[in-house]
Amino acid sequence: MKVIADFCIVPIGVGVSLSPYVAGAVDAFENAGLECQTHSYGTNVSGEYDQVFAAFKDALKKIHEMGAPRITCTIKLGTRTDREQTMQDKIDSVAEKRKR
Amino acid sequence: MKVIADFCIVPIGVGVSLSPYVAGAVDAFENAGLECQTHSYGTNVSGEYDQVFAAFKDALKKIHEMGAPRITCTIKLGTRTDREQTMQDKIDSVAEKRKR
Amino acid sequence: MKVIADFCIVPIGVGVSLSPYVAGAVDAFENAGLECQTHSYGTNVSGEYDQVFAAFKDALKKIHEMGAPRITCTIKLGTRTDREQTMQDKIDSVAEKRKR
Amino acid sequence: MKVIADFCIVPIGVGVSLSPYVAGAVDAFENAGLECQTHSYGTNVSGEYDQVFAAFKDALKKIHEMGAPRITCTIKLGTRTDREQTMQDKIDSVAEKRKR
């Protein structure tokens, strides 16, 4: 099962600078060979369900190891059986409609 | 790794009545032996990471099998290493602070 | 425009105990006369769009005043023009489908 | 109050092709003079709280007028009082940490 997801990972109890932890999480997704794209409020990830959630587990472990006692995450996840779709397809599809 | 999560599962392309699909998803979580609590905008689930995401995968498969060609989900997920906490603890903790 | 929403408000830079801040936010919603229901990963709120987002702004201001230098929130929000629906209707609707 | 937000707007009851509605929403944000950046699972928007939520209300109205009887949205929203930060700052900050 192929998924396109958006992960926003927020370590709690480590002060206000979260980017070192987010960078660690993005590394975990990329090390798993997943397509990643970081934006201003999260990181989009595409791949097989099992691979994505194994990498996400690694990301959580890593952030706890980096010193965060608590983590909260917001994830958006999409699956479809009607057709294949890439992360870029979704962006292009909106951009095309806006041109009209 | 123990997690407390909030799953909001939205089948797309099946009209405006989503509750039969949501009911199917909640069944998948309960059949996996997970603690579940449905509220007005999702279902809270507590358990081991691997068990929760195996049940979530079952829920997605089931909803596709029920006829939904596309699904979008919003998940909130929390982990903590500093102490144990149940779903009810989180509700009680806010209620206590409000009494003061 | 009537909305049903789910607010999860996370103060950052105040340590790991977030419930006093969440309690302050729930107070802001209730003080605005909105229907509220706290669950394990947020608070469901129902009311008119303008009223809900005025109360949410009050909640954010209050949490900053309580000492949080940074806040991140996850909000789910639903509107519908086909029929009226309460927060309880949504829970009942899923429960009914599960009985069958 | 300045906010950085991520809006994911999902019309329900209009089939599986959502991009025309999402395009309409992005237009509403841009017409309000807000900085916008569309990614694979939403649109990041930056601006004053009141302006952002006025534009979001316009986006919802527009999507209902385009024929959607029901809409569900997921919004992430951040505010901070400790320092100014742009949408690009957040991306740069993670990228810098990853280089090390």
**Using one digit for the tens of pLDDT, what is the confidence trace for D59-82?**
999 999 999 999 999 999 999 999
For residues B16 and D89, give the distance between their C-alpha atoms in angstroms, rounded to a whole number. Answer: 39
Q: Is the dihedral of CA C15, C17, C20, C23 positive or negative?
A: positive
Q: How many residues does chain B have?
A: 100
For residues A33 and A31, give the distance between their C-alpha atoms in angstroms, rounded to a whole number. Answer: 5
The pLDDT value recorded for residue C99 is 75
Chain D residues close to C76, C-beta within 8 Å? 72-75
Cα nearest neighbour of C16 on chain A: A13
End-to-end Cα separation, chain B, in angstroms: 34
For residues D28 and A83, give the distance between their C-alpha atoms in angstroms, rounded to a whole number. Answer: 29
**Using one digit for the tens of pLDDT, what is the confidence trace for B35-93?**
999 999 999 999 999 999 999 999 999 999 999 999 999 999 999 999 999 999 999 99
For residues C59 and C53, give the distance between their C-alpha atoms in angstroms, rounded to a whole number. Answer: 10
Using DSSP's 3-state secondary structure scheme, residue A1 falls into coil
Kindly tell me if the per-residue pLDDT of D9 is higher than 90. Answer: yes
Residue D82 falls in which region: left (phi positive, over 0), alpha (psi -120 to 50) or beta? alpha
Residue among A57, A73, A77 whose CB faces B76 most closely = A73
Most B CBs within 10 Å: which of D72, D73, D76, as the mutation test of the B interface? D72
Chain C residues close to B46, C-beta within 8 Å? 40
Q: Which helix (H) or strand (E) holds C10?
A: strand C2-12
Interface residue D91 vs chain B (CB under 8 A) = no
Rounded average pLDDT over A28-46: 97
The pLDDT value recorded for residue A29 is 97
Residue among A15, A69, A72 whose CB faces C10 most closely = A72
**Using one digit for the tens of pLDDT, what is the confidence trace for C40-88?**
999 999 999 999 999 999 999 999 999 999 999 999 999 999 999 999 9
Kindly tell me if the per-residue pLDDT of A100 is higher than 90. Answer: no
Percent of chain A with pLDDT over 70: 99
| Tokens 């949408």 sit on residue | D87
Kindly tell me if the per-residue pLDDT of A61 is higher than 80. Answer: yes
Read off the pTM.
0.97
Q: What is the mean pLDDT of chain D?
A: 96
For the record, the structure tokens of D81 come out as 């009082």
